[in-house]
Every structure is written in structure tokens, then in C-alpha cells.
Amino acid sequence: MKAIVIGGGVIGAAVCYRLAEAGTSVTLVEAGRVAEGTSLTSFAWVSACEKIDSDSYFRLSLAGVAAHRDLVAEFGAAGNWYHRPGVIQWLGAGYEGLPLAESPLHQKLSRLAALGYSAERIGRDDLARLEPCLRPEALDIGEEAIHYPEDGYVEAPVMIGALVEAAVARFGMDLRTQTPVRRLITVNGRAAGVETATGEVFYADVVINCAGRWANDVVGSPDFTVPLAPTLGLIAYTPAVGTAIRKVLRTPNLNVRADGGGRLLLRANDMDETLSADDVARPDHPAAIELARRLGDLIPSLGGIHAEAARIATRPIPQGGLPCVGTLPGLDNYWVAVTHGGINTSAFIGIALRDEILRGQQAPEYAPYRPERFFKAAA
């Protein structure tokens, strides 16, 4: 079996790796370098705790978390991209993605407990113990937070690099970077391959579109598009600092976590809402300045800090906000995998699409999220 995977982000890398590992002859076609798309600019939280109001989304997210654990375990010492320092989420912190769990804290905790999800309520003293660098009033009196001791994040570029390298070195994957796809080739109602911007053609038995926010740009025909409702996100990066943050922090006005080498990574929902398409990501972007100010407010030893870098990315969100993973109706050897929260579910998508493509087994976790829902709605 020959497969073409379009796009070397976190999802494309996971799909390539699992297909190549299973003996498929895979060509990964990437417009630029791998790990240059949205996966480069992500908070990359790996968790299921925000999906508790939807049984199916919770189940999917949990499968995502488990697949990350399994994947790094398979890589042994080289599986160094998944960190689980624990996450502290303040009451009133915004949600990354869909507001699926806006319930009061006690309801959320009892639901999480019923689901067997590791979560504990913490107060001021606990916070001071868990994260001593924060100003003592960080959790104002009367406020509470939830500590998810097993949650964490992924360094997506590191994961992508490891999977792509392993697919090439161990399983002979053909990696084509700097090769933008401009159209999907179909013959008699089946995907036959892709044509690149230079007119080069690659043929395969199956094509998997993992181009994220560009998923509709690579197909070259409105017949193969799925409705997307993307949003912008800005992440600011501090210089290396001598203040260690142990946990991932999701406060009401700032999300912050370590980003390697002593740098911290910052973002906030309300800052994202101020962005527009022509904004240039620079450390002196007003949103980056404000994020750094909020960091100094949260951690006194970082007062007056400035962002060293900023990036803006587009979230690949299907219309309605939920994932879109599966074949397009009428084109049963062509898959699309576009989703927000794509870091969270990437390792699972690799397994789910491998099993569907090679064994004809559709993952029940994706049953509610298949592309056909858009086409039924249109019919």
C-alpha cells in the first residue's frame, strides 16, 4: 500500500509514523519544513479535563492523552517531548477551545471524580507550596483552583521531529519538504495522488490531508473542502529566566508554562480576541507587552520582564468547533484530519487512521466527528 500524507504538523507526523511503522510506503509532502505550521505556536496542553460535559469528546480526549503516554514509552529515553508536571487551573480561567465545562467548581470536581480523572481542589496554602514563586495573593481569598497532577503538555516540534526522523530512518518514509501540494488528483471517484506547485505528481493508493488550517487550500477544488472557522492565537515567549515554574498555570488572565531552556510561554484568550489577520507577530505587539506585564504581576521576581519573541498562528477549527476526521463522502480512499486541540489528540489520530486505512476499523471515538456530518447538513 502506498500513502501520501499532506502536511508535516503534529497530526501528519503521527499519521506518517504509524502508517510507515505498519509497513505502508509513505510519502510525506510538506510545503515548508516540518513543524512550521500551527503546531509550532501552540500552548499544547494535553488533557481531557475540559471536555467533561460531552461524553464522546471526553472519551476522545482521554484516548488522546493515553496515546501520548504510550507513544513516548515506545520511544524510551528518546521520547522526551511529553512533560507532565501537573496543571493548576484557577476558577474563572478561560478555556482553550470550546467552553465545554463552564460548570461550578464543585460540580466539575465531582464529575471528574466520577470519571476517575485525577483532580484536586487547592487553596492558597496549597498553591504557595506547589508554586512558591507566585505572589501570595495570586489566588485571591475566596477563590479556588483545581490541580490536575497528571496533566501536562507536549513540545510539538520535538515530537514531530522524532516521529518524522523515525519514519524515515526506521521505515524508509519518503520525506518531501519545500513541496507545496496544489491539488488532489482524483480518477473515477477515487483519490489517485497529489500535484505539487511545480507540477510534480505523486500517485498513491490513499491520500491523507493533514494540512491543518490549509486543508482546503491543498485540494484545488471546492468539492473536497470542509467548512472551517479558524481563529487567531498569539503566544509570547520570555527570555530565559532564573525563576522556575513547576506547573502549567491557567490563571484567569494568563496561561503560562515552561518552554525549555528557562524560557516561559504566555498566552491569554482575551488577548487573542484583539488580534486581526494583518497583525505582525513581534515582541512589541500590544498583546505580547500585556502578557509580559501580567506575568510580572503574577510572579514578583519577573516584574518588568519583556517578551523576547511572539508568534501568531491560526487554529484549524472545523465549523462548530469539533474535530473533522475521516473520509469524505464519495471519496473513500481520501482522509482529512483537521481539528483544534490537535496536539492533544495527535498521537491517537495516528493510531485511529492507521487502523481505519489498513484494517478497515473505524475508531468509535471519531464516530461523531466524521466529515460526512457537514455533507449531510448540506444535502
Ligand X SMILES: Cc1cc2nc3c(=O)[nH]c(=O)nc-3n(C[C@H](O)[C@H](O)[C@H](O)COP(=O)(O)OP(=O)(O)OC[C@H]3O[C@@H](n4cnc5c(N)ncnc54)[C@H](O)[C@@H]3O)c2cc1C
H or E element that contains 74: helix 55-75
Q: Around 52, how many Cα atoms within 13 Å sit in the side-chain half-sphere?
A: 22
Task: Give whichever of 212 and 357 is closer to ligand X, judged by the CB atom.
Answer: 212
Min dist CB 312 to ligand X, Å, is 8
Task: Give whichever of 113 and 270 is closer to ligand X, judged by the CB atom.
Answer: 270
Task: Give whichever of 135 and 374 is closer to ligand X, judged by the CB atom.
Answer: 374
Strands 231-237 and 264-267: antiparallel
Compute how many residues bind ligand X; rule: CB under 6 A: 42
Strands 145-148 and 87-90: antiparallel
Tell me the residue length of the chain: 379
**The one among 3, 4, 9, 84 contacting ligand X by CB under 6 A:** 9
CA distance 147 to 355: 35
Q: Does 62 bind ligand X (CB under 6 A)?
A: no
Q: Does 313 bind ligand X (CB under 6 A)?
A: yes
Min dist CB 143 to ligand X, Å, is 23
Ramachandran quadrant class, 287 (left: phi over 0; alpha: psi -120 to 50; beta: rest): alpha
Looking at the DSSP bridge assignments, the partners of residue 181 are 196
Q: Around 187, how many Cα atoms within 13 Å sit in the side-chain half-sphere?
A: 8
Q: Does 235 bind ligand X (CB under 6 A)?
A: yes
Q: Which amino acid, residue 216?
A: N
Interacting residues with ligand X between 24 and 43 (CB under 6 A): 29-32, 36-39, 41-43
Q: Does 8 bind ligand X (CB under 6 A)?
A: yes
Q: Does 86 bind ligand X (CB under 6 A)?
A: no
Q: What are phi and psi of 233, to 5 degrees?
A: -140, 140
Q: Does 371 bind ligand X (CB under 6 A)?
A: no
Q: Does 45 bind ligand X (CB under 6 A)?
A: yes
Min dist CB 267 to ligand X, Å, is 5
Count Cβ atoms below 10 Å from residue 270 Cβ, excluding itself. 12
CA distance 138 to 147: 15
Q: Does 324 bind ligand X (CB under 6 A)?
A: no
H or E element that contains 89: strand 87-90
Interacting residues with ligand X between 154 and 213 (CB under 6 A): 180-181, 210-213
**The one among 3, 4, 5, 10 contacting ligand X by CB under 6 A:** 10
Looking at the DSSP bridge assignments, the partners of residue 184 are 194
**The one among 318, 341, 350, 371 contacting ligand X by CB under 6 A:** 341
Task: Give whichever of 33 and 293 is closer to ligand X, judged by the CB atom.
Answer: 33
Residues within the interface to ligand X (CB under 6 A): 6-12, 29-32, 36-39, 41-45, 96, 180-181, 210-214, 217-218, 233, 235, 267, 313, 315-316, 339-344
